[in-house]
Every structure is written in structure tokens, then in C-alpha cells.
């Protein structure tokens, strides 16, 4: 028996071409047979035969134009069959217009109408038969041993996609028993031949009744608290489980079995997604030359990935780390990319070099992500932190204004609020530099402030995973320490969005929900790894590191925050400073950098930054 999944693409096209030609000829014959006797048709055959090739050519051309030879039989759906309808209808209209326009009325109108119906049945029918045949092979294939009873938690679109693929992939060992969903209106309904058996609270008894071994969590929009509840129920029912990606990770709206994975910390921290206006984003990035500083870092590289999809004319990747730039450049510079990718190795502290690059490239939009961000390290490298973060930012902002860029967005941090550390103090002064540019005539300057991002190079999660792999212990500095967390893709969407919202001098702030206790994060990771705290691995409390705070804040005063068109994004209006005096203080600090002792330099930095903290 032939397995059509193993037929080469060229062979598939040949089969379809032959079947479409046959359908075209047979449909014409049947149309004449319905209206005329066979002997009349045979008399007309010499007259119409020269025009049959035109009819076949137009039919096949329309099939090719509508992509009927490219889509997979395996995933044929109503969308593909609507293409068949469009192809046959378009070709029939073209044939009628051509023949009657040239007054070549070799085919009566009634014949063309009946022929349209038969061709539609023929072309669509062949593909339906091929799909049915493939489904038959799926269910009768000798490797199709379904010996693991499975339940899908979530009877929405994601659950239906997974169920549909489970019935098609013959090598999967799963037998789908049914669905679980808390929507009472869905309970009792049948989806892909599997019933919705009950709600989440019914899971333990359903598992026991049907001897279910595994579960798939198919709710991409679920919040972290909901995922935690589901996992808890799966643990109670002694079920192993996997999860579909979140909404932000799904490309093209299709979810497949290959995307299933183990639950991660990111799933437990899921929050409401920020709805981003792609139209407004595309308006200022499409066709623009975009510069990303710090392009090799966690935030910078993700900025580059997302911006490259929004059709900029050129994307400039700037970083002083050549290895990081090499990797992101290789990732983005594909044969299919329509954007000119420019990799640059440069240091933002070097004004002359930066000036020459701006003069040559003249960027329209700038995202300034380059900064030293590691809090304890910067406590011991104060001069470097000040020069890199403050001087580098001042150079970028000044050159953005000099060369009349349209937008310039600074990446800031929650550590800039009432900072007790060097890194936060430098970023607060960077925010001040942005606000001093509020009235720039050509460039809109803004900053975006958010908390920690999961998976970044300096974040706690990679550290925990490394410690876990080494057998522990997981080190937590304080039992009560909390931090705000978000995923890198979400943080980047916020940064891109602020470029469209900014008017000049604002600091945008994300409502990040409740802060997460670091100790809970460590315990979650141990649990997700299938280990038990105190038995398999320990958690050690080590004490606060230099510059660390127990709790971070996102704003100085909530009363001065105003809403934006996005309910989860807030903004502080540009602050009022004496521009000349403020610049003089910052420049004095930069000059003081060159000859002061670290202790004196730290005192000067903290004093300068605290001068610009809003009073309660």
C-alpha cells in the first residue's frame, strides 16, 4: 500500500496535474452528455476540440495561482477548499470572458455553468479522497500503537489543534480519551471525536476512571496562577504533563505536537499579554534605518529579532562584544531577509567613532540598550559603570539629536527608583538625560522602565539552573527578597511600543503585577525538575550582596502616573529641571571620574542621583 506522506513533492504535483486535467476533460464530457445526446456531442467534438487546450491551460494556471499544488494534504482544511472554489470560479469566469469577448461561442453558457460545477466536484473530490486515504493510513498503519491514555486540559482552539494532530501522526503512542475544561457550556460536547469530560475539579476521578497517564495543558492565554492550579491538580492525580507555548511564542497561530514541552518557570509567571498595535509600530519602523545599541545582549538581541520582522530598511547592530554581534548577525542575516543587516563593533563611550557612524548611517530610530547592568559587579567597578552607562548614554542621545533621528528610546530599570546601588544610580541619571531632551525639535526621546527579565544573562534563573545541574545548593540572598519579572519577548514588545507612543521626555512604566519572591522561584524550579527540597537538593540563604535591596519599585510616586492607550502601560510626564545646571552636575561627575578614589566617586554618584529623586 502506498503511503502518500512518503511521496515526493514533485510526484504529488504530477499526480494532481494529471487528476486536474482528467477532471477538466471529464467535466466537459459530462456537461455535454446532460444536455445533448452522445451522437450530437461526437459531431460537435471536432469543433470544440481546438479550444479544449485553452480551457485546460486556464484551469491549471488558476490552480497554480491559488496554490493548489503547494499545500499539504495532511493539513488540508476548509481554508484550502475555499481556494479550490476560488480557483475553479476564477478560471470559469476567465474562460467565459475570453471566449465570448472574442465572439468564439464554441461552448454554450449552460455548458460552461454545468462544467464549472463538475470541475469543482472533480478537483475538490480528488483532494478529499487523498486526505481520506491518508487518514485511513494513519489509523491502519502498523506503527500506530496507542498505548498511553491522554487527556487535554483546555477545549479551546489550542486543544482542538493538538487533538487533530494526534489523530494524524501515526507514530505517536497517545490515545486521546477526552478534554477537561472549566466552561460548563463545553462539557459533554465532542471535539475531534473526543468528549469534554468535565471541569478541572473533576480531573482526579476522570483520571482514575479512564486510567489516564499523561495530560497536555493547552491554554496559551492562561496566567501563571492558573498554570500553578492546573499543575497542582495534575500532581494530585499523579499525572505527568506537558504544555503548549504561550501566546507570545506561537508563530502563525498554529500549535503542533512538536511544540509541546515541559512546564517552565516562565509558564508559572505568565501575566496578561500586552496588546501591541502593529499598525502604529509598523508606521515608524517600516522603511526606517534602525540602530540598536547593546545588540548582542539579552534585550538588545530580542529587539533586533522583533524589529527585523517589521520591515525596516536597515537594522544596525552595535555592540563592543564581537562574539555576541557575530551570533545575532548570523541569526538575522538569512537569504530570505529583506532587511539590510549592518553589524558594528563599537563602544558608545568613544564619541568620535560614534559620531562618524551616525554621520554615515543617519539612523531614523534608536534603541539604546547598551549598559552594564549587574548590580554587585558594578559596586566594585564604579568608574566603569559611570563611564559606560552615563557617558555612553549621553553620547548616543547627543548624536541622535545632532543627526535628527526621529525616535530614541532608552532602556531603563526599576533599580533607578530610590537606588541604593551604583548601577541603579547611573540609570537614574540616564533617565534624567532623556528628560532634558523633552523639547528637542527633531527627535522624540523617551525611556522605558521595567523589572527583571527571565532568561537574561544576569538574571537569577540561569544561575539557579546551573546550580541545579551541579547538584546544588540553590543560593538565595534573603528569604523575603522579591523582584518584578517579565519575559524577554514581552519586555521588548513594550520597548517597541513606547517608540510609537512617545511625544518627548516621558518615562514609560509597565504594570508588572505583583512582585515574585525569589525563594518561591527557587522552590518552583526544584519542583519542576522533579526533585524535592531538603531531600534531593537544598536551598541556602547567603545574605544580601553589595548594593542589593530587598524590594524594588517601579515608580517614585504612583499619583503622578497616567494611563496610556494600553491599560498595562503607564507614563510619567517629563520632569522640570534646570537644563544647564543639571548638565553641569552630570558633566562634573563624569570629569570627577578620571581622578577620584572609588569611595569618593560612589558618594558623588549617589548624591548626584538622589538630587533628582522626586520628593514625597
First to last CA, the chain: 79
What's the rounded Cα separation, in Å, for the pair 452 and 495? Answer: 14
Q: Which long-range contacts (CB under 8 A, 24 or more apart) does 587-593 make?
A: 589/386, 589/390, 589/429, 590/386, 590/387, 590/390, 590/391, 590/394, 593/383, 593/386, 593/387
Active-site entry in 349, 373, 415, 427: 415
Angle between helices 278-285 and 488-501 (to 10 degrees): 70
Q: 265, 273, 267, 268: which is closest to 247 by C-alpha?
A: 273
Q: What is the DSSP letter of 246?
A: P
Half-sphere exposure of 324 (CA within 13 A, CB side): 20
578-612 exposure pattern, b = at least 16 Cβ within 10 A, e = fewer: eeeebeebbeebeebbeebeeeebbebbbebbeeb
Partners of residue 284 on adjacent β-strands: none
Provide CB contacts within 8 A for 130, sequence distance 6+. 4, 73
What is the chain's length? 616
Strand 194-198 to strand 190-191: parallel, antiparallel, or no bridges (unpaired)? antiparallel
Closest CA to 321 of 358, 339, 342, 296: 296
Query: What is the crossing angle of helices 224-236 and 203-210, to 10°?
Result: 40
Instruction: Judge whether 415 counts as a catalytic residue.
Output: yes
The H or E element containing residue 572 is strand 569-572
- The catalytic residue positions are 415
Amino acid at each position: 500500500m502506498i503511503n502518500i506522506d512518503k511521496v515526493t513533492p514533485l510526484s504529488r504535483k504530477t499526480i494532481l496535474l494529471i487528476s486536474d486535467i482528467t477532471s477538466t476533460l471529464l467535466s466537459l464530457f459530462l456537461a455535454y452528455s446532460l444536455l445533448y445526446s452522445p451522437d450530437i456531442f461526437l459531431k460537435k467534438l471536432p469543433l470544440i476540440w481546438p479550444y479544449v487546450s485553452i480551457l485546460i491551460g486556464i484551469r491549471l494556471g488558476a490552480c497554480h495561482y491559488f496554490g493548489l499544488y503547494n499545500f499539504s494534504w495532511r493539513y488540508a482544511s476548509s481554508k484550502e477548499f475555499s481556494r479550490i472554489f476560488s480557483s475553479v470560479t476564477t478560471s470559469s469566469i476567465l474562460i467565459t470572458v475570453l471566449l465570448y469577448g472574442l465572439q468564439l461561442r464554441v461552448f454554450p453558457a449552460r455548458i460552461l455553468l454545468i462544467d464549472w460545477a463538475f470541475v469543482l466536484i472533480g478537483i475538490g473530490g480528488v483532494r478529499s479522497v487523498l486526505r481520506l486515504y491518508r487518514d485511513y493510513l494513519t489509523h491502519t498503519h502498523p506503527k500506530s500503537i496507542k498505548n498511553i491514555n491522554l487527556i487535554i486540559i483546555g477545549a479551546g482552539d489550542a486543544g482542538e489543534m493538538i487533538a487533530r494532530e494526534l489523530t494524524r501522526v501515526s507514530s505517536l503512542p497517545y490515545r486521546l480519551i477526552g478534554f477537561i475544561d472549566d466552561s460548563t457550556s463545553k462539557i459533554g460536547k465532542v471535539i475531534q471525536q473526543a468528549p469534554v469530560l468535565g471541569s478541572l475539579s473533576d480531573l482526579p476521578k476522570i483520571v482514575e476512571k479512564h486510567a489516564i497517564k499523561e495530560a497536555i495543558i493547552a491554554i496559551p492565554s492562561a496566567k501563571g496562577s492558573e498554570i500553578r492550579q492546573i499543575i497542582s491538580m495534575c500532581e494530585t492525580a499523579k499525572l505527568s504533563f506537558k504544555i503548549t507555548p504561550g501566546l507570545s511564542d506561537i508563530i502563525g497561530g498554529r500549535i503542533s505536537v512538536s511544540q509541546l514541552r515541559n512546564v517552565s518557570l516562565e509558564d508559572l509567571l505568565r501575566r496578561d499579554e500586552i496588546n501591541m498595535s502593529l499598525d502604529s509600530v509598523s508606521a515608524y519602523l517600516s522603511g526606517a534605518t534602525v540602530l540598536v545599541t547593546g545588540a548582542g545582549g539579552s534585550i538588545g538581541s530580542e529587539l533586533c529579532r522583533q524589529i527585523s520582522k517589521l520591515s525596516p530598511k536597515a537594522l544596525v547592530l552595535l555592540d563592543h562584544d564581537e562574539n555576541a554581534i557575530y551570533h545575532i548577525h548570523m541569526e538575522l542575516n538569512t537569504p530570505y531577509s529583506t532587511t539590510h543587516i549592518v553589524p558594528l563593533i563599537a563602544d558608545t563611550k568613544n564619541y568620535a567613532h560614534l559620531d562618524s557612524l551616525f554621520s554615515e548611517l543617519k539612523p531614523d530610530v534608536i534603541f539604546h540598550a547598551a549598559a552594564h547592568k549587574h548590580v554587585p559587579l558594578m559596586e566594585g567597578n564604579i568608574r566603569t559603570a559611570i563611564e559606560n552607562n552615563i557617558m555612553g548614554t549621553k553620547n548616543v542621545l547627543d548624536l541622535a539629536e545632532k543627526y535628527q533621528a526621529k525616535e530614541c528610546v532608552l532602556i531603563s530599570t526599576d533599580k533607578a527608583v530610590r537606588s541604593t546601588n551604583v548601577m541603579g544610580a547611573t540609570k537614574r541619571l540616564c533617565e534624567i538625560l532623556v528628560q532634558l531632551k523633552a523639547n528637542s525639535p527633531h527627535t522624540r526621546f523617551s525611556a522605558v522602565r521595567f523589572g527583571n527579565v527571565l532568561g537574561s544573562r544576569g538574571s537569577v534563573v540561569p544561575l539557579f539552573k546551573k546550580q541545579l545541574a551541579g547538584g546544588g545548593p540553590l543560593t538565595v540572598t534573603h528569604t523575603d527578597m522579591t523582584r518584578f519579572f517579565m519575559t524577554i519577548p514581552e519586555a521588548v514588545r513594550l520597548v517597541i511600543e513606547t517608540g510609537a507612543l512617545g511625544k518627548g521626555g516621558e518615562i514609560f512604566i509597565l504594570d508588572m503585577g505583583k512582585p515574585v519572591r525569589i525563594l518561591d522561584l527557587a522552590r518552583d524550579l526544584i519542583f519542576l525538575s522533579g526533585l524535592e527540597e531538603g531531600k534531593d537538593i537544598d536551598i541556602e540563604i547567603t545574605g544580601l550582596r553589595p548594593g542589593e535591596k530587598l524590594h524594588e519599585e517601579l515608580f517614585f510616586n504612583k499619583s503622578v502616573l497616567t494611563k496610556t492607550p494600553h491599560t498595562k502601560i503607564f507614563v510619567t510626564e517629563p520632569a522640570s529641571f534646570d537644563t544647564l545646571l543639571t548638565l553641569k552636575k552630570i558633566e562634573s561627575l563624569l570629569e570627577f571620574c578620571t581622578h577620584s578614589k572609588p569611595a569618593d566617586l560612589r558618594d558623588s554618584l549617589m548624591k548626584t542621583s538622589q538630587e533628582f529623586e522626586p520628593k514625597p
